[in-house]
């Protein structure tokens, strides 16, 4: 693991990977909810001429009641459908092919959306989301990046701004145990290639 809090350093590493790889490169930006992964993913993709793939589009945890009754370990296994993500998006993009996939339908909170997302081939694919650097995707991911917040208060404020204050009690009860388990047992900080701190 190479610690860094510089987006410029991350962009330089990705640019070097892109220039030296024989295939498109996949960068996984993983981290807890609210640390700034999506903002960083968008900025990085713009800097390197890449495209963002949102791991949340492959949500597989079911409705809230089902999710709430699962153990943290079960939640981690079901957070994203990594098999579908790999088969429908990552493998084809890594092979230089265009892809079209149906994201999870968050409007109805069940099933897949009727509106597909289409992605043209790019040299850099930025995979954005919690659980995006899970071990099952290691062979496809060229650089795993742990995105952290400089201060947990900032992270919590970001979540309140994004999700609304009334939802936050449920949010922490629902999501924190799985993230705690994942980042302590599955992908601890030392297992990442880089750490980027967002302020």
DSSP of 113-155: -SS-EEE---SEEEEESTTTT-GGGTTT-SEEEEEEES-HHHH
**Average pLDDT for residues 39-66, to the nearest whole number?**
93
Domain extent at residue 36: 2-198
- What integer pLDDT is reported at residue 165 of this predicted model? 64
What pLDDT sits at residue 149?
Answer: 85
Task: Give the predicted TM-score (pTM) of the model.
Answer: 0.89
Average pLDDT for 150-159: 63
CATH number where 9 lies:
3.40.50.300
Q: In sequence order, what are the residues at sequence separation of 6 or more whose Cβ sits closer than 8 angstroms to the Cβ of residue 131? A: 30, 55, 76, 79, 80, 82, 182
> Which residue did the predictor score with more confidence, 156 or 63?
63
Overall domain count for the chain: 1
**What is the reported pLDDT for 4?**
56
How many CA atoms within 13 Å lie on the side-chain side of 120? 2
Q: What is the pLDDT of residue 160?
A: 61
Highest mean pLDDT among 7-11, 92-96, 155-159: 92-96
The distance in angstroms from the start CA to the end CA of the chain is: 20
């Amino acid at each position: 693991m190479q610690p860094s809090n510089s987006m410029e350093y991350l962009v330089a590493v990705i640019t070097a990977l892109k220039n030296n790889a024989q295939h498109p490169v996949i960068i996984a930006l993983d981290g807890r909810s609210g640390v700034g992964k999506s903002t960083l993913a968008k900025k990085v993709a713009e800097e390197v001429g890449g495209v963002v793939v949102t791991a949340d589009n492959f949500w597989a945890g079911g409705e809230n009641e089902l999710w709430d009754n699962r153990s943290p370990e079960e939640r981690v296994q079901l957070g994203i459908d990594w098999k579908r993500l790999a088969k429908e998006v990552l493998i084809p993009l890594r092979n230089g092919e265009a892809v079209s996939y149906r994201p999870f339908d968050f409007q109805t909170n069940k099933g897949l959306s009727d509106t597909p997302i289409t992605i043209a081939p790019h040299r850099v694919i930025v995979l954005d989301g919690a659980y995006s650097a899970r071990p099952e995707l290691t062979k496809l991911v060229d650089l795993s990046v742990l995105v952290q917040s400089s201060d947990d208060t900032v992270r919590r404020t970001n979540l309140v701004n994004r999700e609304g204050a009334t939802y936050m009690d449920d949010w922490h009860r629902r999501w924190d145990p799985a993230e705690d388990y994942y980042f302590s047992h599955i992908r601890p900080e030392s297992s990442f290639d880089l750490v980027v701190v967002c302020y």
